Structures are given as structure tokens and as C-alpha cells.
A and B are shown apart, each in its own frame.
Chain A
Amino acid sequence: MKRINTFVLIVLVMSLVLSACAPAQTPVSPKATAAPTAAPVKDVKYVDWGFSGDLQVPFRKFLADPFETKNAGVKVTLLGGITEDALSQIKAAQGSSPIDSIMMGEMRYIDAINENILAPLTVKEVPNIALIDADMQKACNGYGAAWMNQIIGVAYNKEKVQPPKNWKDLWDPKYKGQIGIPSPAANNGFLFMVMVAKLFGGSESNLDVVFTKLDELAPFVVAANPSQLAQLLETGEIGLAINWQTQTGPSLSKNSKLDFIIPEPGGAALTSCYTVLSKSANRELAYKYINDSLSTEFQSKISESPWFFGPTNLKAVIPADTLKMNPPMSDIKKLMKFDWSIANKVRTDFTDKFIKRYGK
């Protein structure tokens, strides 16, 4: 049997190990990056990060499939999950992420711009931005298109609980043990907690009152993400869920015992920005894809039952029977909005404190 010099073998293998161990630094320069050379439009794999499960259906049916038909050779892959998971993967990939476009709430959008993750995106690249409500587009100006509004409200089981008329009614003893809330790691969870802070005398930078109020709200179930929260409500584990109107829509279509309400003084809204990754090799395709997502046809379609996405296109037609889930744009502008540039600074520490306080 052939034998080799063990010393040489060890040196070669350690070289391999050490080269694998060297991590690349993630650049934090705010300078814009030039578009990488686009891949030829033939057998192109385009990856979009958005929703999963039932909520991915309209994107596949009304956006991705027609896009593939219009752009021969392009194959659209839809990935789903909360923005935090996507950002973790993008950062971990250190410039090699396969994701081309991603929709993200204002909170993470601000962080992503600061870290040079996004490519510039204006009406020049995406003409349909001209159809969007200008006030809503302000949230995404420069690096994204405001394509949708999500609103948090209370999804509830009509047979188990009476709906709360006001957010502060959640602290009524009759709801004890019935409430499910999302983790602050998810956007709807953090939005709910910032709203609680504002309702009870706190602010975006001072969330301490949230812990006092959550201690009074306990016991409650904490779900990792909006999908899990919707499942808990559907299976009867909880009677009330603080969730997006979009996440609740499919649940309502499956279970007639469920309903949705936006308690007074109104829901809290988050504008979602559709963005292109600065290191995407399919930047031009991404601009076209996002342009299609802002079309009147697509925006009208996704506002329908059972999805209830809040459109931003001024010409989108919101069916009258969905207005409870999807208020008109004029009403959305009156909903609670927060300064995420301030709240983002405390989010990491707040989330860690939340985990340690309620994870026992």
C-alpha cells in the first residue's frame, strides 16, 4: 500500500483549513456600488424574497408566472420568510447571495440602506413609481418602491372571545391566557411593541413601558413569526392574535369562526419597500419585476380576498367587501406611523431583553 509523508499531508490540510477560516469583511461604506455585469437573458435564474405559504400564491400566479412568459429564458424562484432571516442570509453570503430582489418593511429598509445592501431605485429605473401615492413612496425613496401597506390588527376567534374595541382593551382580564403575540424579531412584533410604548406614554427610543405592560398582559403565547401566529389561531391554541391583515386573510378563508378588527385608535401601518440588492447580477430584470409589481392590475388583484394586501397604486381597485381588512389609502395615512430611524437603534437590545424576560 502506498504511503505518504504525514508531515506534508498535515501541512497541506492545515493550509486548507486556515484558508477556509478567513472571513471576508462586510463593507459598510455608504457609497453606491456600480451594477455588476448582467448575466445574459437566457436560462437566467431570478430569485425574489417575499412571502411564504398561502401568501406566496398571488405572487407566483399574478407576478412571477406572467414575468416568465414575458421574459423568455428567465426562471423566477420565490423564497419566503421574515425579513430578518433574509438579511441574515444576505450578510452571511458576503456578496454571494442568490437573492435579486426583496421586499422589506421600513424598519429593516433603513438599516439595509446604511449598509450598502441595496441598489438605487427611483422612478427612472421603475417608471410605475409614478403611479404610487407620493406620501407612501417617501418611506422608500431612493432605494425602493413602496409597493404595499401592511396593518396590524387583532385576529380573533368569534366563538371564544369578543373583539376588543380599543387596543387598551387587550389588558381586560377576560382576555387573559388567550392572546398570542409575535416575537419582536419579526416586524409585526416590534411594530406592536412600539405601538404599545406610544399608547402608554413611551416613545420609539424609550420602550421600557412595554415590559411593564407585557407583564400585566401575561400569560401570552409568543410566536416566532406571523405564519406561526396564524396557525395558532386557526388551531384554537389562542383566541386572539396580533397579526398583519395579510397574514390573517388566508386564515379567515379557511375558518369561518375567525374575524379581524382594527381596534381604536386605529391600526399601526408599515410600508413595505420592494428593493434590489446592490450585488444582484440581474439588476435590470429586477427593475422590470418590481415595475410589474406596481402595475394597477397586480395591485388590484392582491388587494382582493383572501390576501388583502394594501395597495399603494392610486388607481388600484380595492373591492368594497374587503375594506374592513384593507382600509382605503386615505384611511391608511391616518394610521399610526413611527420613526424607525430612532426605533431601530434600540431594537437589538430590546429584542434581547424581551427574549430573556419572557423566554423562561
Chain B
Amino acid sequence: MIKRLNLKSINLRLPIGILPAILFLLVLFIAPFLTLAYYSLLTIQKGNIVGGPSFDSYVKLLSDPFTYYLFGRTILLSLVVVAFCLILGYPLAYISTRIKSPALKTFIMVCVAAPLMTSALVRTFGWIAILGKYGLLNNLLASLGLTSTPIPILFTMNGVLIGMIQIHLPFMIVPLLSTLTSLPKDLDDAALNLGASQWQTFWRVIVPQSIPGIAAGVSLVFVLSFTSFTVPTLMGGEALQIVSIYIWNNVRNLTWSIAAAVSALLLITSLTIVTLLNLLFRRLAPWQHPKG
């Protein structure tokens, strides 16, 4: 039997308490985005509107191979950051939920949260001091006799990756911690009692149950990495263009319609990839979303 949507059964009345949240989203997100989208349809030269509306900016961008290179590089960079954050963050989150000592647990929580208490700019300058040609890392390697000349890390993709992984790691760990902490405490014991090994318990019981946390962490870190600006600018420089830096350069160059169009494409791409990732995780854990 084909199910039909019964409009009469949908309750369209909303409680007044939801109004502030709606206004907040509309004024501070929807309205600016619609303005941005409108600007992307105009022709703007040196900050002045000289034509439009039209799709000229989008045609120009989508017919330029550099656009695909830019987005491809940014997506790849973000996925690598996600992968490293997951590889580094999951064991830390898992171990911290298994530690019995409250003091050690608290210490780990503080270490995870501490980077979030300083600005990304300060942390980035810290990395510049550590990873520079004559910074802490190169000096250490030289003093140990492992290198004779400084290894160039800043203004390379490796430097940008290191900075982004460190800054975004807490955003992977926190959702994982939340999910792993919510799992029943006797789940491990139940699996072991039924004959599973430690590894089987971890891989076939704990990890699948933590997929919602993984999905949340992956989505969050991906979006933050995809739109990251401070770290790539300071640690990568103008020669490592990614989408956010290209938008900034177009704003400075007063080609605002291009900047707006790239911003719109950034949002669409980000939403598409996050949606695909979430669909993937739904397939990996179908029991989390029962039908009916």
C-alpha cells in the first residue's frame, strides 16, 4: 500500500519558546547566507556592483580547472585530518573510559580540554615556534645528530596538517568520550563471558556501538578542517591555497562576487560531504536507526 502524507495530521502550531532560537538562526545564519547568495549572483568589480543578477561568477568558477584543484585539495586535506584525529583520538577516548583512577581520568580530561581554552591563533604561533627551521623540533633533531640541515616543515602541507590535527583533535575526542561513556558498563563482561577475545570485544562490540560518536566526531572535524583559515594562512602561506584562503584573497582583491560564489560552493560541498558521511555511518550501524 502506498503511504500518503496526511497534511491534516501534521501539527503546524509551534510553542512560543522556540521563537528566540528561530530568530537567532534566521537573523544570524539564514539572512547572511541569503545575502551572500545574492552577492554571488551579481557582477562586482573593485567592490562596486556593475551588473547582475546572473550566474556569471559560477560559470567562471566551474569552468576553471583551478576551482576543482582547490576544492579537491581542501577536501583531501580535511579527510586526512579526520583520519589522523580518529586514529589518535579513539584510543585516547577508549582508554580514558576504562581508567578507574578518578585523578587520572580528570587529568586526561583537562589535557583534552586545555587546547580549547586558548585561541587558535595563539596555538598556531606556538606551532610556528616549534616547527620552524630553527624551532624546537629541528633543534632537537640536530642536537641528537639525526639531521644535519633543518627539515622544512612550515609552509609545507605537512606543517599545515600537524597544526590542524592538534587543533581539531579535541573535537573528535569529546563526542567519542560522550558515546563511549554512555555504553553499558557490563557490555565488555557480557562479550567476554560469551567467549569473545579482548580484541573481538573491542572490534565487534565496542566500536560498532560507538559509531554515533565516530559519526559526530568525523562530521565536526571535517567541517572545521574544511573551513579552517588561521592555521593554513599562518603555517602554509599564500603558496598553499585552499578554499578559505582563496575566498579571503578575493575579498582583498575586491572581487566579492567570486568570493561569495566560492563561499556558496564551500557550503554546498561541505553539506554534501557531511550528508554522505552520515549516510555511510547509518549503513554501518543500521541498528541505531530502526525502521517503523
Contact = CB atoms under 8 A, between A and B. Distances in A.
A348 B47 CA distance: 11
Nearest to A84: B252
Given A23-B39, A358-B239, A115 B14 contact: no
Contacts of A237: 132-133, 154-155
B66 interface: yes
A4 B132 contact: no
A111 B47 CA distance: 11
B48 A20 contact: no
A115 B46 contact: yes
Interface string A1-22: 1111111010001001100110
Nearest to A28: B48
Interface in A325-360: 348, 351-352, 355-356, 358-360
Contact of B15 (A3, A16, A351, A360): A3
Nearest to A19: B31
Nearest to A25: B49
A242 interface: no
Contact of B22 (A3, A13, A355): A13
A271 B280 CA distance: 59
Nearest to B73: A360
B254 interface: yes
A87 B254 CA distance: 8
Contacts of A87: 47, 254
Nearest to B50: A28
A2 B14 CA distance: 9
B251 interface: yes
A26 B47 CA distance: 8
Contacts of B45: 348
B254 A88 contact: yes
Contacts of B249: 183, 185, 351, 355
Given A2-B16, A9-B14, A13-B22, A23 B241 contact: no
B255 to A, nearest CB: 6
Given A13-B23, A235-B128, A359-B238, A21 B35 contact: yes
A355 B238 contact: yes
A317 interface: no
Interface in B133-147: 133-135
Contacts of B154: 237
B107 interface: no
Interface residues of A, number: 44
B238 A224 contact: yes
B247 to A, nearest CB: 11
B26 interface: yes
A126 B188 CA distance: 81
A249 to B, nearest CB: 22
A343 B183 CA distance: 65
Contacts of A85: 252
Contact of B38 (A7, A23, A82): A23
Contacts of A16: 23, 26-27, 31
B16 A1 contact: yes
A183 B48 contact: no
Contacts of B250: 352
B233 interface: yes
Given A21-B31, A115-B46, A236-B132, A224 B254 contact: no
Q: Which of the listed residues B64, B155, B240 has the most CB atoms from chain A within 10 Å of its own CB?
A: B155
Contacts of A352: 250, 253, 255
B40 to A, nearest CB: 12
Contact of B34 (A21, A185, A348): A21
A3 B253 CA distance: 50
Nearest to A5: B13
Contacts of A224: 233, 237-238
Given A115-B46, A221-B237, A91 B15 contact: no
Contacts of B253: 84, 185, 348, 351-352
Contacts of A152: none
A352 B22 CA distance: 39
A359 B134 CA distance: 25
A3 B237 contact: no
Nearest to A27: B48
Nearest to B17: A1
B46 to A, nearest CB: 6
B59 interface: no
A144 to B, nearest CB: 18
Contacts of B234: 228
Interface of B: 12-17, 19, 22-23, 26-27, 30-32, 34-35, 38-39, 45-49, 64, 66, 69, 128-129, 132-135, 154-155, 233-234, 237-241, 245-246, 249-255
Please provide the 6 A-B residue pairs with the shortest distance between their CB atoms, ordered closest to farther: A359-B241, A91-B47, A222-B238, A20-B31, A84-B252, A236-B134
24 contacts: A3-B16, A5-B13, A6-B12, A6-B13, A9-B19, A16-B26, A16-B27, A17-B26, A17-B30, A20-B32, A26-B48, A85-B252, A115-B48, A221-B155, A223-B237, A224-B237, A235-B132, A235-B135, A237-B133, A348-B254, A352-B250, A359-B240, A359-B241, A360-B241
